[in-house]
Structure 1
Amino acid sequence: MADSPPAHRAAPGKSQAKRGKDHLNAIYAHPLPLLFGPLPADTPLPWATNVLGLFGRNRIVNPKCVGVFDAATRSVWITNSKDTFILWQRGFFGKGNLSRSEPSWLSRRINQLSGPKQLTAEEVTARRRELRKQFKTERAQALAAAAAEAEAIFAATGEMPTPEAVPAIVSKATFQAKGQQSAAVLPGADSVVTPPLNAADPSLVDEVDDAITPPEDMEHLQLTLQEAFFLAWSVGCLNIIDPTTNESIAPSALWKTFLAAHDFLASPDVPQSPWFDNPFLVSYVAFHHYRSLGWVVKSGIKFCVDLLLYKRGPVFHHAEFAIVVIPVYEDPEDRKSSPYDLPNVEPFTWSWLSTINRVNSQVKKTLILTYITIPALRRISAEELKSPECLKHFTVREVTIRRFVPARMRD
């Protein structure tokens, strides 16, 4: 099965916004890197499959992506352009280290060298901001000119000028329409986007003028440890390499490696034994919980929260929910003896909660407090923490916080 989706052509007569949305639906059609593909007709099937009809004649197509563990940044780097293309377009995993989100550095560089053919999301956002700034400047100048002319008419005639006598001021919608004729406006998003370039597509290099040296792709896809372990353990489509040995890290060793990645946060006065409040473990519980429910999970540091939940992905809509992860110790004594000082353990002040809620209400996100109960060490053996089997002892509870606005919620 091809790694890239087939070319999609919208039916004639569709609006530009509809064509753009159909194009994105074709590109980001798969929620996970795994695909279901048909088996060859002559492939023999097991007896039970023939009788019970399990999966018919379909098979799971596993891309088997490869990443390199980087202990300094506590992340996994995907340097192969093909794997970058797969992980981003099939679930929006990772982030370009030279981009805001989508790894589009190569596309932007090509546009700089040979002229823009298709604008990336970052370039469209920059163009929209420039257009907004230009509009504000010209509107201020127009308002000043209209006020001066109105004062001149009043001084000459002694009467207030009629609206027809004052120069018309161009509206914001009319002004912005000049710079958005070639862009598709997605419903529900305040950003204008065009069908994106695939930064991992080698054919992009061929579009550069022959007189210009094709740029080298300097960007890699950076996965958090939570994303990497989800892809390696839960989905089974990522092979992580140890940079010191250049060998694949076994799943059992990968769990211990990621737990140990946060040991520098631990207090040196406490022995380094397994702890259920390891920062990686707590973060992964929250990540796995929402990913298993079908949400696209991204970092929420931009809005002062831990996670953001997207219904389909950042290309289609803005995040609907902002998540604050709150660890809760089942046994308070474990917190006293723990080497880690987890955030959000102390009770929130009302001022802090009101501030976070206000920030996310302004950007139309619902704030959710996610309470993760850390199991007590006295009832679970430390041996169980050496494998992902310990995840079954964690519980997740959610509380939705909505900002009360008296003017709107009077009834």
Structure 2
Amino acid sequence: MSLIKPSGRKGPVSGKAAGRRNDNNRIYGCPLPLIFWYPPPSRVRTLLGLGVLDEATRSVWVASKNDSTLLWRRGFFGKGDLSRSEPSWLARQINSRRAGGNRLTSEEMTAKRRAERKQFKIDRARAIAAVAAEAEAVFESEGRVVVPALSGPAIPSAATWKPAPVATEPPDTPVTPQDEAPEDEEPPEDLEHLQLTLPEAFFLLWNLDCLTVADPHTNDLLSIQQIWIAFQAAYLTPPIPVSPKPTPVLQLDNPFLINYIVYHHYRSLGWVVRGGVKFCVDYMLYKRGPVFNHAEFSVVVCPVYEDPADQEASVVGLHNAAPFPWSWLSTINRVNSQVYKTLILTYVTIPARSRVSLDVLNSPACLQHYSVREVTVRRFIPARMRD
């Protein structure tokens, strides 16, 4: 349980928002990982999905629509390659054909809010200009100085402003049944697939046993050991396929290992882990998922070498392995504080090569040689912390 107060944003109070939240509780009511007593229920096996490794993008592609939906609704795994998060490209195409659907996707809701926010600023600027022009007219005609008010009944506010209804003109000619769009029109072909990061894919297949990965060249199913080595090799070989492809030497500071350790750490604690590139961090931590509330914590992965000599001899070049300046830390912390998120620096200690042999990297058992430490960074804001 978090000791830090949640974001403080007020929850939705309108009937429409409450209905949407009830729908989310029903749709996303059984997220993974499931916690149950032995023996496990057989329905967990029904979540088994098939993915294909894509070395160029360092991800696993899930093409099946049913598998993609299950993986998203049962733990918010992956993202649509043509969508912001949830695979909703097909729904957006259908909505655009029907000139608006009954349930808008997240991208459509964001576009609608941005358009309304832009229109609100235009209406408010016009109202302020009208009040200023009225004050000028009073001064020219009566000589009185009237201070234009920036608030009041004539000035719309964010709490009272509502978008104007769109006026539709009746058609000049009556619409015949032949002119109407056929209801049985075939839906467009779904061109979208679910894209899983390598840490997400390995967590699903190793810890939850609800994903299988196929070789992209032979379509043969890979074993866990083969997948483990292939995921490490994806970060050690060029992303562009070359022939013949060199056989890489596995490294203790492989980026896949470092990222997976952090992902596994927070997933095992019950957090929903999502990418955080939008806020200049590595991961975002959600209590239930992005459809319920905003992320409370931002995570920056900081690798630490047990032996400094290993860092000097490294051929990988890990991100954030070198000490970062305070200006960078202050910038990241301020960005996340402005959106009510707490910054966490997660330090992953990389074992020394003099103590651990590289042969242990052939199996996930090597994870026992790594350790994780967390440091919470909070920005002092006098306006919020006076009490």
TM-score higher than 0.5 here? yes
Q: 1:138 to 1:386 in 2, by over 3 A?
A: same
2:132 to 138, 147, 150: 147
Residue 76 of structure 1 corresponds to which residue in structure 2?
A: 60
Residue 33 of structure 1 contacts residue 237 of structure 1 at CA under 8 Å; is this kept in 2? no
Residue 367 of structure 2 corresponds to which residue in structure 1?
A: 391
Residue 54 of structure 2 contacts residue 216 of structure 2 at CA under 8 Å; is this kept in 1? yes
Structure 1 gap segments, 5+ residues each: 1-13, 37-52, 180-207
Report the residue type matching 1:80 in the other structure. S
Residue 274 of structure 2 contacts residue 283 of structure 2 at CA under 8 Å; is this kept in 1? yes
Displacement, 1:178?
6.3
Residue 132 of structure 1 contacts residue 176 of structure 1 at CA under 8 Å; is this kept in 2? no
The answer to whether structure 1 residue 104 and structure 2 residue 77 are counterparts is: no
Q: 1:408 to 1:363 in 2, by over 3 A?
A: closer
TM-score of the superposed pair, with normalisation by structure 1: 0.79
Residue 327 of structure 1 contacts residue 371 of structure 1 at CA under 8 Å; is this kept in 2? yes
Between Structure 1 and Structure 2, how many residues are aligned?
348
Q: 1:290 to 1:105 in 2, by over 3 A?
A: same
Residue 235 of structure 2 corresponds to which residue in structure 1?
A: 262
Residue 237 of structure 2 contacts residue 248 of structure 2 at CA under 8 Å; is this kept in 1? no
Residue 172 of structure 1 corresponds to which residue in structure 2?
A: 158
Residue 333 of structure 1 corresponds to which residue in structure 2?
A: 309
* Residues 340-349 or 257-266, more deviating: 257-266
Residue 114 of structure 1 contacts residue 209 of structure 1 at CA under 8 Å; is this kept in 2? no
Report the residue type matching 1:17 in the other structure. A
CA distance in 2, matches of 1:173, 1:258: 50
Displacement, 1:211?
6.1
Displacement, 1:60?
4.6
CA distance in 2, matches of 1:394, 1:265: 26
Q: Which structure 2 residues correspond to residues 232-247 of structure 1 after superposition, within 5 A?
A: 232-247=205-220
Report the residue type matching 1:92 in the other structure. F
The answer to whether structure 1 residue 370 and structure 2 residue 354 are counterparts is: no
Counterpart of 1:67 in 2: which secondary structure? strand
2:42 to 47, 59, 67: 59
- Cα deviation, 1:216-236, whole Å, max 9, x if unaligned, reads 001100000000000011111
The answer to whether structure 1 residue 28 and structure 2 residue 1 are counterparts is: no
- Cα deviation, 1:228-256, whole Å, max 9, x if unaligned, reads 00001111100101111111011110000
- Cα deviation, 1:119-149, whole Å, max 9, x if unaligned, reads 1111111001000101111111111111101
1:85 to 47, 63, 69: 69
Counterpart of 1:124 in 2: which secondary structure? helix
Displacement, 1:20?
1.9
Q: 1:35 to 1:239 in 2, by over 3 A?
A: farther
1:355 to 322, 331, 334: 331
CA distance in 2, matches of 1:368, 1:58: 36
- Cα deviation, 1:28-52, whole Å, max 9, x if unaligned, reads 011217697xxxxxxxxxxxxxxxx
Counterpart of 1:245 in 2: which secondary structure? coil
Residue 33 of structure 2 contacts residue 270 of structure 2 at CA under 8 Å; is this kept in 1? no
Q: 1:30 to 1:132 in 2, by over 3 A?
A: same
State the superposition RMSD in angstroms. 2.5
CA distance in 1, matches of 2:116, 2:221: 49
CA distance in 2, matches of 1:280, 1:301: 17
Q: 1:23 to 1:59 in 2, by over 3 A?
A: same
2:105 to 120, 135, 138: 120
Residue 77 of structure 1 contacts residue 221 of structure 1 at CA under 8 Å; is this kept in 2? yes
Displacement, 1:265?
6.7
CA distance in 1, matches of 2:386, 2:157: 34
Displacement, 1:367?
0.5
Residue 131 of structure 2 contacts residue 148 of structure 2 at CA under 8 Å; is this kept in 1? no
Displacement, 1:400?
0.5
CA distance in 1, matches of 2:35, 2:98: 35
Displacement, 1:372?
0.3
- Cα deviation, 1:320-369, whole Å, max 9, x if unaligned, reads 11111000001111112221100111112111111111111111111100
Paired-residue identity, %: 56
The answer to whether structure 1 residue 280 and structure 2 residue 256 are counterparts is: yes
Counterpart of 2:365 in 1: which secondary structure? helix
Displacement, 1:403?
0.8
Report the residue type matching 2:188 in the other structure. P
Counterpart of 2:52 in 1: which secondary structure? strand
Residue 89 of structure 2 contacts residue 192 of structure 2 at CA under 8 Å; is this kept in 1? yes
